[in-house]
Amino acid sequence: YLTGRNGVTLVLKRGKEFEVLATNKLDDEFRASAALVGKQMLLRGSQYLYCIEEGATLNKQEVSSKAVAGPKKISSKAKAEGDKSKRELLEVIARRELPKDYPGGKGHQAFVDKWFKTAGAKGAEVGQLWEEQQRLFPDMKNRGESFIKILDYVRTKGNKAKAARPTGNANPHIKRKVQAEIRREPGKPLGKTGALSGRIQDLAGKAMSGVMVSVFDDSRRQSTSVFSQPDGSFRIEGLHESNFKIRARLLGQQDGWVENVTLGKDSIVIKMSPATGEDLEEQRPASDAFGQLSFDSPRDRLNFKMMCAYCHQIGT
């Protein structure tokens, strides 16, 4: 049984050849797989929870009770207005700064677990907001930070954390190309513009291509990135006068940094060295560790992947 978001469920024949036995349609939106319990199939829609059983009938009393006490269908207009309100709230939450007591990185899960132990009813509120966040913003960039901002909003009742100033599109979860906002004192000129260029090399002096070279201007909270060419060269143009930091990054290599760089330099050389030990370990994709886990059955492996993949990228 395969249920699509549009409410269409395909019944496929079990076998080596693909064959559709039946197609069923429910007037609802679905974002969860069907659950089979005995002879019953449970489907959770946006408006109703459906229980389907072959040959099942309702007596008059059950039908009457269901007609009186059953949930009222939400009109498409009311649903759209509700989504708009939820979207606006989630956009406000997304612009909040991360809480100061949030450790990030490896401390993320411990931080979440500690709070949920004493969260009580607030934990359910976080869960509801997170479910709406995933539904309305499925392409959010950083799921972990988005979850923490929702958690902090609920635990502080939305009052304590300062919201970051939005730039560009008001929706922070839409992937887009944005020109970084330039911050300066009133009346202070931007100064001249120019470029920075140089080369990326390994320890033996050999050119390295495909290295991501990023220039950071902390005074304006601006960064620009390019990739080194086959001869190892890079050039970044359109920069305003400032003191820059340059970082070179490539998987398997330690980050190379150059600081206090000013406009006009065209002979910057950044040497890259292989990453080792913990530095190399931290660069390994999550799928690498997932592939080393042992499961009792393929089904257990799939269940683990489906449960964890809601929040964590674990590869295939």
Q: For residue 198, what pLDDT band results from cuts at 50, 70 and 90? A: very high
- Distance between CA atoms of residues 128 and 124, nearest Å: 6
The mean per-residue pLDDT over the stretch 293-308 comes to: 83
| Residue extents of the structural domains in the chain | 2-69, 77-155, 193-277, 286-316
Q: Average pLDDT for residues 285-304, to the nearest whole number?
A: 79
What per-residue confidence (pLDDT) applies to 185? 45
**Structure pTM?**
0.36
Average pLDDT over residues 144-171: 69
The helix (run of H) or strand (run of E) holding residue 125 is: helix 121-136
Cross-strand bridge partners of residue 225: 214
Copy the structure tokens of residue 60: 């008059």
Q: What is the pLDDT of residues 65-93, one digit of tens each?
A: 444 444 455 566 666 677 788 888 898 89
User: Residue 206: what pLDDT?
Assistant: 94
> Which CATH architecture does the domain made up of 193-277 adopt?
Sandwich (2.60)
Q: Rounded mean pLDDT of 138-165?
A: 77
Average pLDDT, the chain: 78
| Residues paired with 249 in a beta bridge | 212
Asked if residue 272 lies in contact with residue 256, where contact means CB atoms within 8 angstroms, the answer is yes
pLDDT at position 159 is 56
Higher-confidence position of 175 and 44 = 44
Predicted pLDDT of residue 238: 85
pLDDT reported for residue 68:
43
Per the model's pLDDT, the better-predicted residue between 274 and 280 turns out to be 274
What average pLDDT does this structure show over 206-212? 94
Report d(CA 316, CA 307) in Å as an integer.
13
Decide if pLDDT at 219 tops 80: no
Residue 65 sits at the vertex; the CA angle it makes with 42 and 40, to the nearest 5 degrees, is 20
Q: At what angle do helices 121-136 and 76-94 cross, to 10 degrees?
A: 100
Asked if 239 and 263 touch (Cβ cutoff 8 Å), the reply is yes
pLDDT tens for residues 95-132?
Answer: 888 888 888 888 888 898 888 888 887 888 888 888 88
Asked if pLDDT for residue 191 goes beyond 70, the answer is no
Determine the pLDDT at residue 223: 86
- With cut-offs at 50, 70 and 90, classify the pLDDT of residue 243: confident
Angle at 298 between CA 49 and CA 39, to 5 degrees: 35
> What whole-number distance in Å separates Cα of residue 75 and Cα of residue 109?
39
